[in-house]
Amino acid sequence: MSLICTAALLSTTEGQIYMRCQCIKTHSGSPIRIERILSLKVIPAGPHCKNEEIIAMMNRGQMCLDSKKDWVISLKEE
């Protein structure tokens, strides 16, 4: 019985993204210059996370941005 449960669990999680928020901490300070941002990844709110998440990809890594800030909203709309 435990083998069946283990197999069922593995088959449902295989190849899936972990269902949790990607952003633990968000940058809400001064605006980031658009030239520094290579791309934006927008993850809508859903069952995995109650917040919309906006992740800026930059040369030195990625940074989560506060989706409620005006400057972040304008970045998302561009």
pLDDT at 17 (0 to 100): 52
pLDDT at 36 (0 to 100): 93
Enter the pTM of the model.
0.69
pLDDT at 12 (0 to 100): 46
pLDDT at 2 (0 to 100): 46
Neighbours of 52 (CB within 10 A): 14
Strands (E), the chain: 37-43, 53-58, 61-65
Q: In what order do the strands lie in the sheet with 53-58?
A: 37-43, 53-58, 61-65
Mean pLDDT by 10 residues, the chain (78 residues): 46 54 90 92 92 94 93 87
**Residue range 18-77, CATH number:** 2.40.50.40
Residue 66 has what DSSP assignment? -
